[in-house]
């Protein structure tokens, strides 16, 4: 799966002083929350893309609704405050994938719609978060840490007593992992100069998550929520600026 393929090239290092050294203007909590919400929406669209390709349109429709119903206000609100016209376009872009899924459009058409929606979300981030904030490893790592914590919440809702009882929530967690890996990849060049000790921890922790969330189908051996939470705790710790290791 995507996670396994990305892992070897992405997880080469984790943070330390490099994050502070590369930081520009300090990010606000609101900016981190906004960018994390965008990544959560993208995570749902990752799942929509894979479910639709697997001829599971009903499940894809459910996930296509989440960015509108659960996350949309956290995205369009900040955009509307800086650019109401863009806010309207982003709102419509978030709704477009569900319309396509309901219409059972050809897969290629849905792919184009999803690509356009993601592009609109990227434009929103560029408008809301200044470049001297959003382009820094410090900001992207803060978003990554927040996204990983959200992954645990989704996984907890899907796993009970060693079984995946809510596949929808498992799929959410899977999508969050894919976006976590994508964000990690975006900061990897800077992180490769950081602590080898923290890099080793990050690599091992991401590998555990990749085994727990290998794809749309859960693994035969299901990792407990407690184990996933501990994995993320140590991963977040490795992604937190501190002494080089």
Domain boundaries, the chain: 1-25+133-245, 28-128
Cβ 67 vs Cβ 45: under 8 Å: yes
Question: Can you give the pLDDT at residue 243?
Answer: 56
Question: Can you give the pLDDT at residue 25?
Answer: 62
Question: Can you give the pLDDT at residue 7?
Answer: 40
How far is Cα of residue 214 from the mean position of the Cα atoms in its chain? Answer: 15
Quick one: pLDDT band at residue 165, thresholds 50, 70, 90? very high
User: Does the pLDDT at position 10 exceed 70?
Assistant: no
Q: What is the pTM of this model?
A: 0.87
Condensed to tens digits (0 to 9), the pLDDT of residues 37-89 reads: 999 999 999 999 999 999 999 999 999 999 999 999 999 999 999 999 999 99
Question: Can you give the pLDDT at residue 9?
Answer: 39
Question: Can you give the pLDDT at residue 130?
Answer: 95
Condensed to tens digits (0 to 9), the pLDDT of residues 172-209 reads: 999 999 999 999 887 767 766 776 777 778 889 999 99
Can you list the alpha helix ranges (DSSP code H) found in the chain? 2-10, 17-22, 29-53, 57-66, 72-82, 84-102, 107-128, 131-134, 137-158, 167-191, 196-212, 225-238
**CA distance to 72, 139, 152, 199, 232, per residue, from 63 (Å):** 13, 27, 18, 33, 24
């Amino acid at each position: 799966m995507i996670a396994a393929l990305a892992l070897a090239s992405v997880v080469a290092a984790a943070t330390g002083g490099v994050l502070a050294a590369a930081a520009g203007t300090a990010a606000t909590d609101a900016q981190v929350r906004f960018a994390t919400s965008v990544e959560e929406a993208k995570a749902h669209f990752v799942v929509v893309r894979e479910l639709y390709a697997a001829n599971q349109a009903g499940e894809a429709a459910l996930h296509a609704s989440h960015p509108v119903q659960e996350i949309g206000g956290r995205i369009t609100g900040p955009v509307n405050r800086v650019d109401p016209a863009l806010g309207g376009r982003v709102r419509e872009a978030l709704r477009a994938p569900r319309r396509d899924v309901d219409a059972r459009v050809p897969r290629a058409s849905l792919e184009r719609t999803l690509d356009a929606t993601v592009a609109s979300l990227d434009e929103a981030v560029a408008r809301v978060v200044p470049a001297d904030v959003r382009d820094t490893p410090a900001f992207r790592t803060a978003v990554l840490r927040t996204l990983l914590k959200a992954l645990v919440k989704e996984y907890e809702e899907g796993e009970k007593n060693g079984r995946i009882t809510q596949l929808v929530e498992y799929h959410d967690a899977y999508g969050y992992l894919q976006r976590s890996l994508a964000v990690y990849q975006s900061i990897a060049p800077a992180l490769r100069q950081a602590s080898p000790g923290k890099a080793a921890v990050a690599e091992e922790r991401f590998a555990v998550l990749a085994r727990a969330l290998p794809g749309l189908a859960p693994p035969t051996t299901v990792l407990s929520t407690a184990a996933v939470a501990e994995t993320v705790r140590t991963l977040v710790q490795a992604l937190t600026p501190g002494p080089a290791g």
